[in-house]
Amino acid sequence: MARVYNFSAGPSMLPESVLNRAAEEMLDYNGTGQSVLEMSHRSKAYEPIIYGALDLFREVLNVPENYKIIFCQGGASTQFAAIPLNFLNGSGKADYVLSGQFSTKAYKEATKYGDIKVVASSKEQNFSCIPALDKANFTPDADYFYICQNNTIYGTRFTELPDTGNVPLIADVSSCFLSEPMDVSKYGVIYGGAQKNVAPAGLTVVIVREDLLGHARDYTPVMLDYKTLADNDSMYNTPPCYSIYMCKLVLEWIKNLGGLEALKLRNEKKAAILYNYLDGSEMFHNPVNPKDRSMMNVTFVTDSDELNAKFVKEAADAGFVNLKGHRSVGGMRASIYNAMPVEGVEKLVDFMSEFEKNN
């Protein structure tokens, strides 16, 4: 069977060259006579994999030396609790921007641990935009300021970061990690689940400024204490070994492509192809404020639920899979992460144009 074009929001496509490399090394990694799936994380054979992945992450993302990179488990959702447990320990206050479902979940989790303020929300606009921010509403002595930088479900993103002054900015970057260059020094913490652009599901990456470590509450579970994980090189317990191996292969692929600058140009091209078609279509439209449109997750709808369902089915039959929108919003969504080739977006637009003519 020919490979399909997979527009899943996550777990998502991986580069074919990475999958082929993993297949070649499945039974015998680097002459060890064993698979990485079977390998002890304490072995000499595994050390170059995890330390190589950590070093490559620092190189590809240009992570400053005063930041720790941590490989952990539990998905981004586990970090909703880990963040207040690690950082909500000065004033006990934090500011949250509600721009979608995941920032809302993170906010609700944080309210268990301190005085959490919603400084802006776009809920009334069905999260179709990034809410306007007024610095006068920010909490001056907050322990941190929290955003979800790209909103997978609604197809929005922060194109400008909030100016939080001396308050550390914490960002969930699960669905925009490694899609373009980032100035890590503007954040106190960035984190994300790997299953969009980085690796298969099972790995979560946390990048934290060193001076913020070591202040976790005394009842913080050891596996949520970032300092413990950092001090043990992400191997306090058995890490997600195979996902880390796959992460290393993906990072090598990004580096060989020309790094994040080259990926940004490619991703911008894909997004422009799809948004340009939607803006000119009489059948499909994108509900997002144009200035807040995501480069990774493109949402679109017709004026009919029946037509939406017909499109999703016929698209899947034609080899364009996982285009159904999130169950909470309906419609369609094309997630065009790093591994989606330009050709895949071009062919999707051709299919959409033909569908529009026929319906």
The model's pLDDT over 90-111, given as tens digits with 9 standing for 90+, comes to 999 999 999 999 999 999 999 9
For strands 150-151 and 156-157, give the pairing: antiparallel
Would you place residue 328 in the very low, low, confident or very high pLDDT band (cuts 50, 70, 90)?
confident
| Separation of alpha carbons 336 and 217, rounded Å | 39
Segment 314-341 shows an average pLDDT of 93
> What tens digit of pLDDT does each residue of 240-268 get?
999 999 999 999 999 999 999 999 999 99
CATH number of 17-256: 3.40.640.10
Is residue 63 pLDDT above 70, yes or no?
yes
Average pLDDT, the chain: 96
pLDDT higher than threshold 70 for residue 303: yes
Helix (H) or strand (E) holding 15: none
What is the reported pLDDT for 109?
98
**Mean pLDDT confidence for 57-70:** 98
Percent of the chain clearing pLDDT 90 (strictly above)? 97
Lowest mean pLDDT among 12-21, 303-312, 320-329: 320-329
Task: Dihedral sign for Cα 215, 116, 224, 64, please.
Answer: negative
Average pLDDT over residues 345-351: 98
Cα gap 158→331, rounded to integer Å:
22
Percent of the chain scored above 70 by pLDDT? Answer: 100
Please give the structure tokens belonging to residue 163.
């100016």
pLDDT at position 53? 98
13, 16, 104, 187, 281 from 169: Cα distances, Å: 30, 35, 17, 5, 38
Residues of the chain with CATH 3.90.1150.10: 259-358
Q: How confident is the model at residue 329, as a pLDDT?
A: 82
Domain with CATH 3.40.640.10 in the chain: 17-256
Correct CATH for 259-358 of 2.60.450.10, 2.40.50.140, 3.90.1150.10, 3.40.50.1970 = 3.90.1150.10
Q: What pLDDT, on the 0 to 100 scale, is given for residue 1?
A: 64
Distance CA 73, CA 83 (A): 14
Tens of pLDDT, residue by residue over 200-246, are 999 999 999 999 999 999 999 999 999 999 999 999 999 999 999 99
Check pLDDT > 70 for residue 332: yes
| 108-157 per-position pLDDT tens digit | 999 999 999 999 999 999 999 999 999 999 999 999 999 999 999 999 99
Sheet holding 144-148, edge to edge: 67-72, 204-209, 189-193, 169-172, 144-148, 93-98, 115-121
In this model, does residue 327 exceed pLDDT 90?
no
Q: Which secondary-structure segment (H or E) carries 244?
A: helix 241-257
Beta bridge partners of 94: 116, 144
In whole angstroms, give the CA distance from residue 324 to residue 328: 11
pLDDT of the residue at 2? 84
Give the pLDDT mean for 40-59.
96
